[in-house]
C-alpha cells in the first residue's frame, strides 16, 4: 500500500514537471511568435524602404536623363549658334572685300555642321544660312580670283613668305598682288614683260623684258636699277639660292650672270683693272690700295 502511495506521488510530481515544461514551452513559443511578428514588421518596413529607394532611384535616373537631354540640347544650340556665327562672319568678310577669308570661314561653318545629326537641326534654318554664305563665298571667290592684266600674262612668282604674288604681262606692266587677290601696285617701265622672280629673302623682284633689260625692284615697287647687256628680249630671270647672283636667259641665245654681292663685284672689277693700277704711274696710291696693290719703292 505504501508503495502504491509512493508511486502515485511520483506520478503526481512528473505530471507537475510536465505541466511546468508545457508552461515554459508556451512562454517560449509566445516569445518566438512576438519575435517573428517583430521580424515580419521589420521585413515589411525594409521592403517599403527598398520600394521607396527604387522609386527614388527611378526618379533620379529620370532626372539624370532629363538633365543629359537638356545639356545635349543646350550644347547643340550652342554649336549651331557658333555655326551661324561663322556663316555671318563669312558674309561680313565677303562684304568687306575679303573673299578668301569669307571662303575659309564658310568652309569652317560647313565642316562644323556636317557631323551634327541632321535630325537635331533639320527644323532649324542653320543649314540654309551655311549654304547661302558658302555659295556666296565660293562663287564670289571664283569671280574675284581673276588677277587681271590687259594682255597675255607670261610669268607669275610667289614671294618666299607666300604673302605676295608678282605677275608680268605683255601689257608692259608688273603687278604685285596680295595672296587674297588684292592688287598692291603696278610697276611700269618695261616693254612686254617675259619673266618675274623674287629673291630668296623676298625683298627684291627681278624682271626680264622685250626691251632687252633686267630691272630690279624693291618689294614696295620702287625701281632699284636696270641691268643692260643682252642683245634681244630677256626671256627668263632667276636668283641663286643665296640671292647674290641673277641668271638671265635671252632670245640672243645667251645666259648672263649678274653678281649682286659688293665684295664679289669689287674683286671682279679689281681683277679687270689690276694691270692698269699696277703699271700706270698716274694712279693714286689709294686706288691701288683699294684693290690690294702695293707700290714698289
Walk me through the domains of the chain, giving residue ranges and CATH numbers.
Answer: 1-146 (no CATH), 153-260 (2.130.10.10)
pLDDT classification of 230: cutoffs 50, 70, 90: very high
Global pTM value: 0.48
Strand partners, 185: 176
pLDDT at residue 194, rounded to an integer: 94
pLDDT at residue 47, rounded to an integer: 82
pLDDT at residue 269, rounded to an integer: 67
pLDDT classification of 231: cutoffs 50, 70, 90: very high
pLDDT classification of 150: cutoffs 50, 70, 90: confident
**167 and 197 Cβ atoms separated by less than 8 Å:** no
Give the CB-side neighbour count of residue 179, counting CA atoms within 13 A: 9
pLDDT score of 147 more than 70: no
Looking at residue 232, the DSSP 8-state letter turns out to be S
Mean pLDDT, the chain, whole residue set: 80
pLDDT score of 268 more than 70: no
Residue 44 grid cell: 515589411
**216 and 183 Cβ atoms separated by less than 8 Å:** no
pLDDT at residue 148, rounded to an integer: 75
How far apart, in Å, do the first and last CA atoms of the chain sit?
182
Provide mean pLDDT across the span 63-80.
Answer: 78
In which residue are the cell numbers 624693291 written?
218
pLDDT score of 279 more than 80: no
pLDDT score of 251 more than 80: yes
**212 and 243 Cβ atoms separated by less than 8 Å:** no
pLDDT score of 196 more than 70: yes
Amino acid at each position: 500500500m505504501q508503495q502504491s502511495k509512493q508511486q502515485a506521488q511520483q506520478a503526481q510530481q512528473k505530471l507537475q514537471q510536465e505541466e511546468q515544461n508545457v508552461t515554459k514551452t508556451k512562454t517560449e513559443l509566445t516569445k518566438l511568435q512576438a519575435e517573428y511578428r517583430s521580424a515580419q514588421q521589420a521585413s515589411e518596413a525594409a521592403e517599403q524602404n527598398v520600394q521607396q529607394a527604387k522609386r527614388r532611384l527611378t526618379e533620379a535616373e529620370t532626372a539624370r536623363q532629363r538633365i543629359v537631354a537638356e545639356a545635349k540640347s543646350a550644347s547643340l544650340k550652342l554649336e549651331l549658334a557658333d555655326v551661324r556665327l561663322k556663316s555671318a562672319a563669312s558674309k561680313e568678310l565677303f562684304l568687306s572685300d575679303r573673299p578668301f577669308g569669307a571662303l575659309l570661314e564658310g568652309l569652317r561653318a560647313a565642316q562644323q555642321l556636317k557631323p551634327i545629326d541632321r535630325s537635331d537641326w533639320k527644323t532649324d534654318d542653320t543649314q540654309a544660312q551655311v549654304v547661302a554664305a558658302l555659295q556666296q563665298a565660293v562663287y564670289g571667290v571664283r569671280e574675284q580670283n581673276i588677277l587681271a592684266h590687259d594682255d597675255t600674262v607670261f610669268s607669275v612668282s610667289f614671294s618666299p613668305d607666300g604673302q605676295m604674288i608678282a605677275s608680268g604681262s605683255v601689257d608692259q606692266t608688273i603687278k604685285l598682288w596680295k595672296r587674297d587677290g588684292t592688287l598692291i601696285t603696278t610697276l611700269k617701265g618695261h616693254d612686254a614683260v617675259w619673266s618675274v622672280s623674287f629673291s630668296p629673302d623676298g625683298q627684291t623682284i627681278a624682271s626680264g623684258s622685250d626691251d632687252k633689260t633686267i630691272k630690279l625692284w624693291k618689294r614696295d615697287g620702287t625701281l632699284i636699277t636696270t641691268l643692260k647687256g643682252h642683245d634681244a628680249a630677256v626671256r627668263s630671270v632667276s636668283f641663286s639660292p643665296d640671292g647674290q647672283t641673277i641668271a638671265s636667259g635671252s632670245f640672243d641665245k645667251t645666259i648672263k650672270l649678274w653678281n649682286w654681292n659688293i665684295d664679289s663685284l669689287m674683286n671682279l672689277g679689281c681683277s679687270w683693272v689690276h694691270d692698269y693700277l699696277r703699271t700706270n704711274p698716274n694712279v693714286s696710291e689709294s686706288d691701288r690700295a683699294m684693290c690690294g696693290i702695293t707700290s714698289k719703292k
